């Protein structure tokens, strides 16, 4: 066994990425404070060919040195857009046929492993603020809440790790 060099990985270019088939998923970052978490979300989105990232509220926007530190150029490949209001954005995406899924612990959350994507469906995954989670006004109008089952003492997982787990689970079930 030997470690592969970057040129041996066979990755597509940023230009090829733009025209490649995407996972029918958009990510919404709802008031995410940490620029490192934002950059990490971009990198995960690139890895799994997520269609687009929406940054809302206080979420930082590229170009920014702290975002680039973890994104490693993914802000150039992944389409993104800023919206001030997460509520208006999710209402718009709902009207465009997206199923709005909040990644949050609620009274009606479905365990991630029990969620099965439907072929041809489009999903909007909303990830919340590091302290307060997903905004209440989005939860009220969401189609579904998903949570990652946990068995430790903490009540949550870092938002960037959460993005990776959820997107990977949906990507592997969609392939």
CATH class of 14-148+155-174: alpha beta
Q: Which of 5-14, 16-25, 61-70, 93-102 has the lowest mean pLDDT?
A: 5-14
Mean pLDDT along residues 71-97: 97
- Residue 28: its H or E element: strand 23-30
**Residue 20, CA distances (Å) to 14, 46, 77, 136, 172 in order:** 10, 11, 11, 35, 18
Q: Record the pTM.
A: 0.96
pLDDT per residue as tens digits for the range 18-72: 999 999 999 999 999 999 999 999 999 999 999 999 999 999 999 999 999 999 9
pLDDT for 142 equals 98
3-state secondary structure of 103: strand
Helix, strand and coil in the chain, % to nearest 5: 40, 20, 40
pLDDT for 6 equals 86
pLDDT per residue as tens digits for the range 103-151: 999 999 999 999 999 999 999 999 999 999 999 999 999 999 999 999 9
Distance (Å, whole) CA 23 – CA 17: 12
Distance (Å, whole) CA 170 – CA 50: 11
């Amino acid at each position: 066994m030997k470690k592969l060099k970057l040129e041996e990985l066979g990755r597509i270019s940023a230009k090829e990425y733009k025209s490649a088939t995407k996972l029918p998923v958009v990510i919404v970052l709802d008031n995410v404070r940490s620029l490192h978490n934002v950059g990490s979300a971009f990198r995960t989105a690139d890895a799994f060919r997520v269609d687009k990232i929406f940054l809302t509220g206080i979420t930082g926007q590229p170009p920014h040195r702290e975002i680039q530190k973890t994104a490693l150029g993914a802000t150039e490949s992944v389409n993104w857009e800023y919206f001030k209001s997460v509520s208006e954005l999710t209402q718009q995406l709902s009207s465009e046929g997206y199923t709005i899924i909040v990644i949050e612990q609620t009274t009606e959350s479905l365990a991630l492993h029990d969620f099965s994507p439907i072929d041809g469906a489009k999903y909007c995954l909303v990830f919340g603020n590091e302290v307060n989670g997903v905004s209440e006004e989005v939860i009220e109008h969401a189609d579904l809440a998903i949570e990652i089952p946990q068995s430790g003492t903490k009540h949550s997982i870092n938002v960037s790790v959460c993005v990776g787990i959820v997107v990977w689970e949906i990507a592997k079930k969609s392939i």
